[in-house]
Structure 1
Amino acid sequence: MSIDFKDISVIVQGPVQAYQGRDQQAGITHQCLQSIRTHLPGATIILSTWEGQDCSGLEPDILLLNKDPGGTIAAYDQHGKPGKLNFNRQLLSTAAGLRQARTPYAIKLRSDNYLTGNEFVTAQQAYPVRNQADSLFTERVVVNTSYFRKYADGHRVVMLPSDFFHFGRTEDLLKIWGIPLFDDLVFNPSQSGRPQYRGYPYIIPHAEQIYCNAWLQQLDKQVPYLEHRHQQNAAMVEYWDRFMASNFVVMEPEQIGLGLIPRFIAKQKRPNEMSYLDWQCLYQRYCDTNFVAPKLKLFTQLGWKRLVKLPFSRLKFSIKHSKRHK
């Protein structure tokens, strides 16, 4: 089955100019919208941004000016100073756009990224075999590898997908982005004088893990609450691998047709990130045993680097973390 571009809504979410501590490359959202018109002619563009943003010259099909929910307090330092993250900003702007979509398919795209092609449309349908017991989405969701971590600080981690780009059924993207907003972490006076955050004294989960853990728990009540970044065991790793195999297509940005601003572009593939080759191996293992996975290519491109670099990353993290908590 081929997907017609007119059956796709593109949710461009986020600020269109510098906004409350977040720099924005001048003209990048104009470039983003123009790239959609070029590579997805006929698609519906929904720009979901904030009240007070200057949208002059931007011509989306639908413009949403959302009320800013503000940063979400996710931690306090030892002096009681709150640390805020943009959890609810991303959730609210993305979900608001998805709820306006009237097409069966949708894309979640940052306002500071853009399209360089439309290869993701074909890729979404290119891996038809799924394990039904592991399939929590109606169809696969195409996800970008940039900042999709397989390892963090040298440790294998779970539930850490990239949140830059998603393409799939609108109903499936709403399973990810339609979750309730997060509450601020409440300061605990009895713990005054030490940092307060999810997982203390272990390392706090990455923001993407906190998102993913929340929506995955809504889809499957057996998924445990992720206490800290490195929490995992053999069963959790297998569960996450099986989920990725049947619910995602994990691809490099150049394979997707996704353009990134310079600060997101690595000089070479990061060994700690998931790769398309990693994902293909999972697809063979858990979905289609007749598929020929590129195992040798994976080792020559990334596997040997991981063998060398990951032990040093673990050691570096261990030393840094022990000093922090002396």
Structure 2
Amino acid sequence: MSIDFKDISVVIQGPVQAYQGRSQEPGITHKCIASIRTHLPGATIILSTWEGQDCHGLNPDILLLNKDPGATIVSYNAKGEPGKLNFNRQIVSSAEGLKQVTTPYAVKIRSDNFLTSNDFVAAQQAFPARNDASKLFTQKVVTNTSYFRRYADGQKIVMLPSDFFHFGLTEDLLKIWDIPLFPDREFDPTKAGSPQYRGAPKVGPHAEQIYCNAWLRKLDSTVPYLQHRHQNSPELLAYWERFIASNLVVLEPEQIGLGLIQRFIPKSKRPNEICHQDWLLLYKQYCDPSIAISKFDIFKTIGWKRMCKLPFSYIKHQLTQIKK
């Protein structure tokens, strides 16, 4: 079944100007909108941003000026100074935009990314096999390998998908983004003088892990609360890999047709990130044994780099923990 572009809405979420803590390439949101008009003619464009943002010259079909929830306090350092991340800004701009969608399919894209093709539309249905016991989405959701990490500090980790780009059924994207806002972390005076954050004194989860853990626990009550970055077990890793194979289609940016601004483009593929071949191997293992992919195929591209770099990353992390 082919998907007609008129059955797709594109939610562009985030700021269209720089603000404190978030730089912005001038004119990038104009470029994003123009690229959608070029590569998805007939699709509905929804720009979901903040009150006070200068949207002059932008021409989305729907413009949402959300009330800015502000940055979220997620930590305190030893001096009691708060650390903030844009958790709720991303949730509000994504979820409120998706709630305006009336088409069966939707794209969620950052306001500082853009399209270079529409290849992701066909790719969404190119891998139909599922592991029935692991299905949490109605259909597959296409996502991006950039910042989709399989390793951190030389160790395999779980629940760290990229949040740059999603394409799939609107109902499935809402499963990811329509989650409760995160409350500010309250300062605990009994822990004054020590860092306070989720998982302390172990290494805290990455922001993407915290997002993913929240929506995955909403979909499946058996998923544990992720206390720290490296929390893992053979059972949890297998669960995460089955989920990836059965519910996602993980593609390189060029396979999606996703354009990234310069600061997101590495000089070479990062060994700690998933690659499309990694995902294909999981898809073969859990969904479709007929897929032609092997571990040696991965070794020839990114595997040998991992063998060289990951052990050093692990040793460096262990030494850092000892110094603490």
When normalised by structure 2's length, the TM-score is: 0.99
2:34 alignment partner, SS class: helix
Shift of residue 318, structure 1, vs aligned partner: 1.8
Moved segments of 4+, more than 3 Å: none
**How far, CA to CA, are the matches of 2:198 and 2:31 in structure 1?**
38
Q: Does 1:157 align with 2:157?
A: yes
Corresponding residue for residue 15 of structure 2: 15
Q: CA offsets per residue over residues 187-211 of structure 1, 9 Å max, x none?
A: 1110111000000110010000000
Corresponding residue for residue 277 of structure 1: 277
**How far, CA to CA, are the matches of 2:101 and 2:321 in structure 1?**
45
Letter in 2 for 1:263: R
Corresponding residue for residue 59 of structure 1: 59
User: How many aligned positions are there?
Assistant: 324
Corresponding residue for residue 245 of structure 2: 245
Q: Does 1:139 align with 2:139?
A: yes
**How far, CA to CA, are the matches of 2:23 and 2:305 in structure 1?**
33
Shift of residue 296, structure 1, vs aligned partner: 2.1
Corresponding residue for residue 41 of structure 1: 41
**How far, CA to CA, are the matches of 1:322 and 1:51 in structure 2?**
46
Shift of residue 52, structure 1, vs aligned partner: 0.4
**How far, CA to CA, are the matches of 1:262 and 1:47 in structure 2?**
22
Corresponding residue for residue 222 of structure 1: 222
**How far, CA to CA, are the matches of 2:255 and 2:112 in structure 1?**
19
**How far, CA to CA, are the matches of 1:309 and 1:233 in structure 2?**
23
**How far, CA to CA, are the matches of 1:320 and 1:95 in structure 2?**
38
Give the 5 Å matches for 1:85-164: 85-164=85-164
**How far, CA to CA, are the matches of 1:245 and 1:251 in structure 2?**
12
1:146 alignment partner, SS class: coil
**How far, CA to CA, are the matches of 1:60 and 1:287 in structure 2?**
39
**How far, CA to CA, are the matches of 1:287 and 1:68 in structure 2?**
42
**How far, CA to CA, are the matches of 1:231 and 1:40 in structure 2?**
40
Letter in 1 for 2:49: T
**How far, CA to CA, are the matches of 1:230 and 1:253 in structure 2?**
26
Q: Does 1:306 align with 2:306?
A: yes
Shift of residue 295, structure 1, vs aligned partner: 2.9
Letter in 2 for 1:96: E
Identical pairs, percent: 67
Corresponding residue for residue 320 of structure 1: 320
**How far, CA to CA, are the matches of 1:322 and 1:113 in structure 2?**
40
Q: CA offsets per residue over residues 251-296 of structure 1, 9 Å max, x none?
A: 0000100000000001111110000000000000000112222432
Q: Which runs of 5+ in 1 are unaligned?
A: none
2:88 alignment partner, SS class: helix
**How far, CA to CA, are the matches of 2:76 and 2:322 in structure 1?**
19
**How far, CA to CA, are the matches of 1:20 and 1:161 in structure 2?**
25
2:230 alignment partner, SS class: coil
Q: Does 1:203 align with 2:200?
A: no
Shift of residue 171, structure 1, vs aligned partner: 0.4
1:65 alignment partner, SS class: strand
Letter in 1 for 2:119: E
**How far, CA to CA, are the matches of 2:84 and 2:270 in structure 1?**
27
When normalised by structure 1's length, the TM-score is: 0.98
Q: CA offsets per residue over residues 33-54 of structure 1, 9 Å max, x none?
A: 0000000000000000000000
Corresponding residue for residue 69 of structure 2: 69
Shift of residue 302, structure 1, vs aligned partner: 1.1
